[in-house]
Amino acid sequence: MNSALKSPPLVRPLWAQMPACDWFGGRPRTEENFGGSAGCLTGPMLMSDELSRLHEIVHERLIYNARNLHGERAADLVANVPLAEYHTVCDRLNHSKMLTKTGRILRDSDIREIKQMSIFDEFRRAFGSVRLSDEDNIGFEQICMRVARPQRTEDVGFLHCDSWFWRHHEWPLPEGLNRTKVWIGLDVKPELNGLVLCPRSHLKNYDFKVSNLGYKIKFDPDFDTSELTYETFPGRSGEAVVFNYGTLHVGKLNQAAQSRTSIEFTLLY
């Protein structure tokens, strides 16, 4: 990737903390205006007990998926290793079925618990009343988890902005509502396995082609990606990055020795 900064410098340091009341740069609270000229910013940080609880919730979801797919012995296999060591046992499971889109959505009760966590106070300060999207129409607000195993390109996806999924699937946007995305690494080492974003990419309409991989679709950029600036979010585990629905992003290949877990969700306001 070309990391050279080709645009004029941003007015503020890209990842400097800014108060939630400034997240729209003083402009109306619309989807397009979120994140100002960068289109991405450092959001709130989970408290340490909340971060521990999220580790438990994601681990429990993996155990539940293993039990559903392969029975009690498989559930024990996942339960008996720390979450960060999931990759050491996943060869004995059907990993792609463990983490289908529906298998990555957390349970309704867990999502209700997460929405009570401190970060949502900050989201309400920035956006007013918020709820989470349910683009898959499962009947409740969605928070998805991701598990990126070491050195597995298939676990980190492809360059995209989230509005492409809505456009491709023709998911209806709840009337009068705007979307903003939140990503939180739960055991992230930014230099080895963080989230890469392209600041300012939300200011331009980029086109894409769709490939059908059989079990899922993939988007390929229909433009010159060397024009973009790539920045890895430097936040610590539990720190949120909040970004515009048009900001291009991609997971960084996990070059750490442990599995990297994260959660993500779309705020509607």
155 touches Fe ion (CB under 5 A): no
Return the structure tokens found at 212: 């059908």
Of 68-76, 161-169, 186-194, 229-237: span binding Fe ion (CB under 5 A) = 161-169
Task: Point out the residue whose Cβ comes nearest to Fe ion.
Answer: 162
Cβ contact 184:239 at 8 Å:
yes
For Fe ion, which is the closer residue by CB, 110 or 162? 162
How many other CB atoms are found less than 10 A from the CB of residue 93?
A: 18
Q: How far is the CB of 201 from Fe ion (least distance, A)?
A: 12
Q: How far is the CB of 73 from Fe ion (least distance, A)?
A: 34
CA distance 1 to 232: 12
Of 97-105, 155-163, 185-193, 251-259: span binding Fe ion (CB under 5 A) = 155-163
Return the structure tokens found at 38: 């960068």
Size of the site for Fe ion (CB under 5 A): 1
Q: How far is the CB of 75 from Fe ion (least distance, A)?
A: 29
CA-to-CA dists, residue 131 to 128, 201, 213, 256, angstroms: 10, 25, 32, 34
Residues paired with residue 45 on neighbouring β-strands, in sequence order:
239
Q: How far is the CB of 195 from Fe ion (least distance, A)?
A: 9
Strand 260-268 to 144-148 pairing: antiparallel
Cβ contact 69:93 at 8 Å:
yes
Binding mask 226-255 for Fe ion (x = CB under 5 A): ------------------------------
Taking CB under 5 A as the criterion, the residue among 162, 187, 231, 239 binding Fe ion is 162
For Fe ion, which is the closer residue by CB, 162 or 187? 162
CA distance 230 to 232: 7
Q: How far is the CB of 69 from Fe ion (least distance, A)?
A: 25
Residues paired with residue 180 on neighbouring β-strands, in sequence order:
244, 267
Of 87-95, 134-142, 162-170, 198-206: span binding Fe ion (CB under 5 A) = 162-170
Query: Which residues in this chain contact Fe ion in the complex, by CB under 5 A?
Result: 162
